Structure 1
Amino acid sequence: MDILILAVVLIALVAVGAVSGLVVSSRKKKQLPPPAPPSTPTITAPPAEPQVGEDAATTAEEQRRTIEEVGLPEAEAAAPEAPEAPVAEAEAPAAPAIEVPEPTAGRLVRLRARLARSQNSLGKGLLTLLSREHLDEDTWEEIEETLLVADVGVVPTQELVDRLRERVRVLGTRTPAELRTLLKEELVALVGADLDRSVKTESGADTPGVVMVVGVNGVGKTTTTGKLARVLVADGRSVVLGAADTFRAAAADQLQTWGERVGARTVRGPEGGDPASIAFDAVKEGIAEGADVVLIDTAGRLHTKTGLMDELGKVKRVVEKHGPLDEVLLVLDATTGQNGLTQARVFAEVVDITGIVLTKLDGTAKGGIVVAVQRELGVPVKLIGLGEGPDDLAPFEPHAFVDALIGD
């Protein structure tokens, strides 16, 4: 029995050993093989260099040089460090060259031919009528008509005809030379040779002379202001411009361009700004700079617009806070004739007109407006415009004007 039990135990141990061997064997078969070591990449040397090792190519023999024959390489200059690129700035426009205006003395004489081309019909017409053999009533009526067509005005025309009739009757003047002299004397007297036609630019105080330029739309007021600046600069005055015409977009730019051409600074404000404020600032800047004259360009106003005319009065009052207003120049278009007188009356009611500027006088044969407007306002014509050129604004000279009317 014991032997039987011992045998069973031995058989069990053998069976367990056999099973263990099979398990171990199975596990060994399933174990993955260790990873192969990474392959070393093959480095191919440049063909120009010899290979290292037993198979290296033999270095080619070269002719030996002495040390004197070997030139040393020149040291390369170190490249300078590139400076930092500056921040690009917008280039300022080049300042326009300062022009030298034409002298005003005798300017009207130099422009006489231009004036005579348009006005000569008046003088020649009068001389032709006066040279008739018989100066009857019909002839004198024709003389009156000629003067009225030239916009001399009814009252001045009647005065001139009466004086001419009297002098011709008393003196018996008949030759062309005598008639020309007689007509010239009467026309000069009618125009007014004794009137003060200088533009007042000296206030007599510590403030600069202040000149305000007024007028309706389309008479060339801003251009006249710019040309007047040239007249003053030509006479040795320093000028500051005030662009108080804020209702017309290009007015301030136009005036500034005129000023830059003669070295005059322009004080301006925003479009649609308060004209009185800009006029005030212009005078203030003129005082600070010690300028001789401040020219203020106002907006062109229709004389029928009461509100705008009242605003013009406001500009005048504000400017006068700095000191007296020395000149108020009314710009009139000579081609408008008698309609210009209506404009003149309304402006004279709002501001005290001290002088008249007649523009486009070379474009009309109605030179008699000079006489009519002076009679209407009781103030002299101080400047006349005779063209589009920058120096075509001339101080009014009665004798030169009449000479151009009558011709040679």
Structure 2
Amino acid sequence: MGSQHNDHLKAVVIRKAFIKLMPILLFSYVLSYLDRVNISFAALTMMEDLALSAKLFGYGTGIFFIGYFLFEVPSNLLLTKFGARKWISRIMITWGMVSVGMAFVQGDVSFLVMRFLLGAAEAGFFPGVILYLTFWFPQEFRARIISVFMLSIPLSLAVGAPLSTALLGLNGIGGLHGWQWLFIIEGVPTIIVGLIFLCVMPDRPKNAKWLNDEEKTYLQGVLDAESLKVAKKAGTKVSMAFKHPIVWILAIIYISNVTANIGLSSFLPRIIKEQGTFTNMQIGWITSIPYFVGVLGSLTFGFMTDKYKKPFIFLLVAILLTGLGLIFAGYLYAQTAIAMAIISVSVAGVGIYGFKAPFWSLPSMFLTGAAAATGIAMINSIGNLGGFIGPSVIGYVRDATGSYASGLYFLGGLSIFASLLSIFLMAKYSKIAQQD
């Protein structure tokens, strides 16, 4: 009878936490990613207006991740000090303000400075939310919960692509360019949602008014037991994150995913534009196709990972889909077979977004407490250097060769290398994870 009661209580508590927390977390990350990548759609007219070369645009897109890298770990440690509600709200309001400020860049220098500041402002949001989810959802639910949260990325691009290109049509209104309206209209909601986050999101189960005392005690007990088990093996000190080899291996693997993701999303509208006489609106809808497909990949990989308890296997499959999809896309782009290239990019999209759930379920198997906060932030900050590598290499290669094909080959090849690392990771750590 006690077991049945606990099962019922678990189902009720997880359902409540999901309904109360996930909608605003999902929407917040949609805004985060949209404010990060809307530069790729603004570039359809912004590059000409400001006389930016593909190479400089690539550097400007990528320098976001230098600011992100420098401030990521300190930000996540401050989250543990001030609490998730206050700190995540502060991050959102700050990056929303900087995003609106992107509307007023005047040339090369201001473009680079504002992109750097945007990265510094957003630093800590993603690892902060991943850490926040560990405060609420036991290990057995995390892959599927993370997969739902990760829907934000393809959704932000699937919805943001036609929205952003439509906003370019406001060109001339109020004496502003269309790309200026794009930054303003897409930046303001982030500030508003940041204020809402501060008002409604509880830090931990004990702060949730929508859980009764029995539900709070049960959920916190399960989470504390899991944390204690991990702490006995790995410890909770910040230094443990720096010492644990899995942190560094995961960070290198994550670089490949971010490089592919940001490199592709930063230039896909321009790649499509060079393949035919498409209008900006048509480019927006074509760009959205791989990201709609990516939604399916994110959900499928998340639920399959939880069902079969094989995060390493599904991680490997996702990486291989990414690499092969991008390599074939480069070949098809060179043949000007745009329809087949978009299909191949969509396969890569399944891998890129399917990667997230099995990948981000791994750190909390090995780290907890301050070590988890530091480790997750380290993995994310180091991995996000790929956000500088991807656009910079593609922009450089485009200016040097006149084609984006070699850039796509580079993205795909890096993913194939990461697949080899994931095989090593699986061989070394999967038995430990299964024992846990």
**TM-score range relative to shorter protein:** under 0.3
Larger radius of gyration: 1
Q: Higher relative CO (CA 8 A, sep ≥ 6), structure 1 or 2?
A: 2
TM-score (structure 1 length as normaliser): 0.24
TM-score (structure 2 length as normaliser): 0.23
Structure richer in helix, relative to its length: 2
